Structure 1
C-alpha cells in the first residue's frame, strides 16, 4: 500500500468527520449485518461474523482514509493494522451481545437478532470513531510547527575585525558554540 505523504487534505472537523463516519462506516456496517445473517444460515454465526468483519474492516478503513478523515489517499499498512485492532474489539462486542441474546431468548427471530447486532455495532462504532480519529488517522503535527527545532541554526558570520578584537570567550559566544 502506498503512503499518503504530501497528499493529505485538510482534516474535517469532528462533526463533519463523524457524519462521514456514520455514512461510510454505517453503510458498510448495515451491509455487513445482512451478509452475516445470510452467511450464518450455512456456517456458524461467529465464523460468519469473523469473515464479514475482516472484509468490511478492509473496505471501511479505505473509505475512512479517503473520505472520512481526509487522509487524501489509500490507507497505509499501519492504518490498516491499527484499524484491525479496533475492529477486533468491535467483533468481540458484537459476539458478546449475540451470545447474551441467545442466553436470554431461546429462539430469537431474525429481526431481534438484527436489532441486537446493529445496536452492538453502533456502540462499538462510536468507540471505533474515537480510536480512528485520535489514533489511526490523527494528524501528526510537524516538529517545526510544534515549536521543536528540527535543524541546528546557521552559524553566525563574524567579521574578521570583530573576531580579532573580541576575547576568545566573546568569539565563542558570537559563533553560537556556547
Structure 2
C-alpha cells in the first residue's frame, strides 16, 4: 500500500511559485535586507565618526566595514534569506561584496573632501550613507542571486533546516 506524502513541507517543496508570490517573496526579502542593512550601517556610523578622529578616515572605514560586514552577513543569512549560518565561505563571498562597498564609500567621501574641503560632519555622513545605500542595493542582488540563493530541496537530507523561501512560500 502506497502512502501519500504529507501535505506540509514536501508538498510545498515540489510546487512552483507564481509570479505575484515570487515578487512578494523577493520584496519581503529585500525589505528585511534593507532594514537590517540600514540598522547595521547606522549603528556603525557612530563608531566610524569617533574612530576617524584618531586614525585616518579610510583606515577607520576599513575597520568598521570589517566588523559591520561580519555582523550584517550573519543577520542577512539567517533573517533576510533564511539560509542559516553562512559559514566561512559565505562570509568570504560577502566580504568580497563589501570590498567594492569600501571602495565606493571611500571614493565618495574622498571626492567630497576634494570638492568641498572642510565639509561639515552632516554633509560627510550624508554622502557616506548615500553611497552605502547604493552599495547595499548591489550587495543585495549579489547575495540574493549567488551567495544565499534559495537552495534546491534535497530529499532525504533530514537536516531539519527550512529555507526562508519555504517559509515565504507557506505564507
Instruction: Give the TM-score normalised by structure 1.
Output: 0.71
Q: Which residue of 2 aligns with 1:124?
A: 135
- Return the match for 2:88 from 48, 69, 77: 77
- Return the match for 2:52 from 20, 31, 40: 40
- Return the match for 1:24 from 12, 36, 41: 36
Distance 1:35 1:18 in 2: 26
Gaps of 5+ in 2: 1-12, 14-21, 156-171
* Larger fraction in helix: 2
Give the CA RMSD over aligned residues: 1.9
Gaps of 5+ in 1: 1-9, 145-178
- Return the match for 1:110 from 113, 116, 121: 121
Instruction: Give the TM-score normalised by structure 2.
Output: 0.74
Deviation of 1:19 (Å): 0.6
Task: Indicate whether 1:57 and 2:58 are aligned.
Answer: no
Deviation of 1:128 (Å): 0.4
How many residues are matched? 134
Computing the radius of gyration from Cα coordinates, the structure with the larger value is 1
Distance 1:143 1:69 in 2: 18
Q: Secondary structure of the equivalent of 1:139?
A: coil
